[in-house]
């Protein structure tokens, strides 16, 4: 099963298993991972599911589309080169993904 | 522990009276879910019962008119939290129970009675009962095929029927009507939208945005008729199913589905029965407390002091949005844990219609000036609203940078000077000022 390792701003780690095809955001929210808010439920409207992806995992992810790129300029904690919106990241069979959640999403 | 001798028989539980829950949340809605989640985050350690009248686990509604209707997301992905989450957090989910009456004691505790005969004793009560779709009250309004889009069962009924339909008439040119109309058009249906008023999305956006949506939808092939209302609905030969919509001027539009989106009515029946003050929703103070000082009421069903900075004193508002359900729930969670925190954040809304992605920051009520930012080539369009020189809101279509800039400026009490904002090539973030 795909696994996402969420590290929060304090360094606490939660490993969450998900289903292939689900987004990283859904996987986090359904299991109550606190660092992800996701007000809009994944419709790319709110930028409150911001994550920083560990550098060596970036290449496993699909490229960013324009809308995600623009929304990332409005995140509560400023974007970095490894920023993504987790609603746009789909789990695949063997994905083992490491992300850090920002200190705040709103 | 746990063993009993014949001399000391085990106490027999009284099965007729269920255990009393610490907090009964009536309405397994966006605000109900958020209230339970926020309470646990704040360390509220009493038992919570989250009760809803639908036979579904709590789910997100916004996709019902869009991705769910079009079949691009599964119902499972609309579920808010896993069953394990609720179990781990000591929250009982109760599905399919409709509360018809509540008996209260002087200390705020009481018993809620369901139509099934079950009853739910509680120490404290939260009403997150939402709103219901306003019914179309014209001749033929109760025919088969006259549908609404408020909850999951409504969406399932529409999906079940849509395969056999070619012509759909949508009554109501608000967000729900336009989202559904765009979805149905994309699914190959011949869609006509009837709007009673002189423009689309009546009170939610300004004149320029309404006009933009009218032109954009018409350019995409949607048949929109303003100042038009249905006189009656006609039936098929058998008389049971809808066959068409007859307009006031006698025009007959064929329709195998009539989808009605003419607004909602807040659910205040329980509040009225409890003797709470009701006026366009359940009247609450700035801490989400109803007039009895103990019941909390939040989300679509609640009428609250307008939380937006700069609002007139005493002004009240009832907001129907995901963002409000979440923020209002946080206020209520503080109240229920003995803290007094006021509503934070700037109200915001979104509506996705075809490839038009509308994001609204703030409330435009009482504006005295608008500034248009239009980039036709890139399909971006924003309207900024000002009152006495201060930006108070923005409608942004496919322009998330503008939306984010205005939302952030409002949240931090900053301004975006109107004269500089008119040039769409200037990023708003770069001209934001401290007052």
User: Nearest 5 degrees, angle CA B61-CA B88-CA B15?
Assistant: 95
Give B325-368 pLDDT, tens digit per residue: 999 999 999 999 999 999 988 999 999 999 999 999 999 989 99
Nearest by CB: A70 against B78, B84, B400: B400
Count the neighbouring beta carbons within 10 Å of the beta carbon of residue B124: 19
Cβ A45–B326 below 8 Å, yes or no? no
Q: Do A74 and B81 touch (CB under 8 A)?
A: no
Tens of pLDDT, residue by residue over B283-330, are 999 999 999 999 999 999 999 999 988 888 899 999 999 999 999 999
A106: in domain: no
Q: How many CB atoms lie within 10 A of CB B182?
A: 26
Mean pLDDT of B224-235: 97
Give residue B364's pLDDT. Answer: 93
- Is it true that domain B22-62+79-132+265-336 has CATH number 3.50.50.60? yes
Q: What does the DSSP assignment read for B215-256?
A: HHHHHTT-EEESS--EEEEEE-TTSSBEEEEEETTS-EEE-S
- Measured between beta carbons, which residues in chain A are less than 8 angstroms from residue B429? 73
Instruction: Locate the DSSP E strands across B63-109.
Output: 91-94, 99-104
Beta bridge mates, A73: none
Shortest alpha-carbon distance between residue A17 and chain B (Å): 12
**Three-class secondary structure of residue B1 per DSSP:** coil
Delimiting residues of CATH 3.50.50.60 domain(s) in chain B:
22-62+79-132+265-336, 146-260
- Cβ contacts of B87 within 8 Å, gap of 6 or more: none
Distance from CA of B36 to the nearest CA of A (A): 12
Number of H helices, E strands in chain A: 2, 5
Average of per-residue pLDDT across B58-79? 92
Contact check, Cβ <8 Å, B429/A73? yes
Does the structural domain B355-434 have CATH classification 3.30.390.30?
yes
Q: How far is A72 from chain B (nearest CA, A)?
A: 9
Instruction: Name the CATH code of domain B146-260 (choices 3.30.565.10, 2.60.120.10, 3.30.465.10, 3.50.50.60).
Output: 3.50.50.60
* ipTM of model: 0.91
Rounded to whole angstroms, the Cα distance separating B393 from B298 reads 23
For B379-415, the pLDDT digits (tens) are 899 999 999 999 999 999 999 999 999 999 999 999 9
**Model pLDDT for residues B121-151, shown as the tens digit of each residue:** 999 999 999 999 999 999 999 999 999 999 9
Closest CA to B329 of B80, B84, B108: B80
Q: Chain A within 8 Å of B359 (Cβ-Cβ)?
A: yes
| Residue B110 CB burial class (10 angstroms; 0-12, 13-18, ≥19) | buried
Chain pair A-B, CB pairs under 8 angstroms: 64
Segments forming the whole domain that contains residue A90? 3-100
Q: Looking at beta carbons, which residues of chain B come within 8 Å of A47? A: 400, 404
Q: Is position A89 within any domain?
A: yes
Instruction: Name chain A contacts of B85, Cβ cutoff 8 Å.
Output: 30-32
**Concatenated DSSP letters of B367-410:** --EEEEEEETTTTEEEEEEEETTEEEEEEEES-HHHHHHHHHHH
Number of domains in chain A: 1
- pTM listed for this prediction: 0.93
Predicted local distance difference test score (pLDDT) of residue B424: 92
- B-chain CB neighbours of A78 within 8 Å are none
For residues B143-163, average pLDDT: 97
Note whether B326 contacts A39, CB cutoff 8 Å.
yes
CA distance B45 to A101: 26
pLDDT band at B18 (very low <50, low <70, confident <90, very high): low
B4 pLDDT above the threshold of 50 = no
- Any domain includes A105: no
**Cβ <8 Å between B62 and A43:** yes
pLDDT computed for residue B358 by the predictor = 97
The reply to whether residue A74 touches residue B63, judged by beta carbons under 8 angstroms, is no
Range(s) for CATH 3.30.390.30 in chain B? 355-434
For residue A74, the domain's CATH number is 3.10.20.30
């Amino acid at each position: 099963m795909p696994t996402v390792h969420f590290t929060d701003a304090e360094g606490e780690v939660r490993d969450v298993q998900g289903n292939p095809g689900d987004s990283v955001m859904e996987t986090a929210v359904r299991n109550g991972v606190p660092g992800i808010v996701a007000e809009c439920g994944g419709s790319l409207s709110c930028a409150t599911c911001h994550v920083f992806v560990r550098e060596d995992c970036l290449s496993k992810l699909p490229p960013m589309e324009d809308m995600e790129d623009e929304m990332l300029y409005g995140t509560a904690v400023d974007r970095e080169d490894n920023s993504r919106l987790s609603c746009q990241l789909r789990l695949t069979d063997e994905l083992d993904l490491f992300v850090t959640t920002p200190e705040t999403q709103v | 522990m746990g063993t009993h001798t014949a001399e000391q028989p085990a106490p027999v539980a009284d099965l007729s009276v269920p255990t009393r829950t610490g907090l009964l949340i009536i309405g397994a809605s966006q605000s109900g879910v958020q209230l339970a989640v926020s309470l646990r985050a704040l360390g509220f350690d009493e038992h919570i019962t989250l009760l809803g009248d639908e036979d579904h686990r709590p789910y997100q509604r916004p996709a019902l008119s869009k991705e769910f209707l079009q079949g691009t997301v599964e119902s499972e992905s609309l579920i808010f939290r896993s069953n394990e989450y609720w179990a781990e957090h000591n929250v009982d989910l109760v599905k399919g129970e409709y509360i018809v009456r509540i008996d209260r004691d002087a200390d705020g505790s009481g018993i809620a009675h369901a139509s099934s005969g079950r009853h739910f004793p509680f120490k404290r009560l939260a009403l997150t009962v939402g709103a219901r779709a306003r019914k179309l009250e014209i001749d033929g309004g109760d025919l088969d095929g006259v549908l609404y889009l408020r909850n999951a069962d409504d969406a399932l009924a529409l999906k079940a029927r849509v395969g056999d339909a070619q012509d759909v008439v949508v009554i109501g040119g608000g967000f729900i009507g336009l989202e559904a109309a765009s979805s149905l058009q994309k699914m190959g249906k011949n869609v006509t939208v009837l709007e009673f008023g002189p423009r689309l999305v009546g009170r939610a956006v300004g004149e320029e945005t309404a006009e933009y949506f009218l032109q954009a939808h018409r350019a995409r092939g949607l048949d929109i008729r303003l100042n038009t209302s249905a006189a009656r609905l006609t039936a098929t030969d058998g008389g049971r199913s809808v066959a068409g919509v007859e307009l006031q001027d006698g025009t007959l539009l064929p329709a195998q589905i009539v989808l009605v989106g003419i607004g909602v009515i807040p659910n205040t029946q329980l509040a009225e029965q409890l003797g709470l003050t009701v006026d366009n929703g359940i009247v609450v103070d700035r801490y989400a407390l109803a007039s009895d000082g103990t019941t909390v009421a939040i989300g679509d069903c609640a009428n609250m002091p307008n939380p937006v900075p700069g609002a007139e004193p005493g002004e009240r508002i009832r907001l129907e949005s995901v963002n409000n359900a979440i923020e209002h729930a946080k206020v209520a969670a503080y109240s229920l844990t003995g803290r007094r925190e006021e509503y934070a954040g700037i109200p915001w809304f979104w509506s996705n219609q075809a490839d038009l992605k509308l994001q609204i920051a703030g409330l435009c009520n009482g504006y005295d000036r608008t500034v248009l930012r239009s980039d036709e080539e890139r399909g971006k369009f924003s309207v900024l609203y000002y009152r006495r020189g201060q930006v108070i809101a923005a409608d942004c279509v496919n322009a998330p940078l503008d939306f984010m800039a205005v939302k952030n400026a409002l949240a931090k009490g900053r301004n975006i000077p109107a004269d500089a904002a008119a040039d769409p090539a200037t990023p708003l973030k770069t001209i934001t000022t401290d007052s």
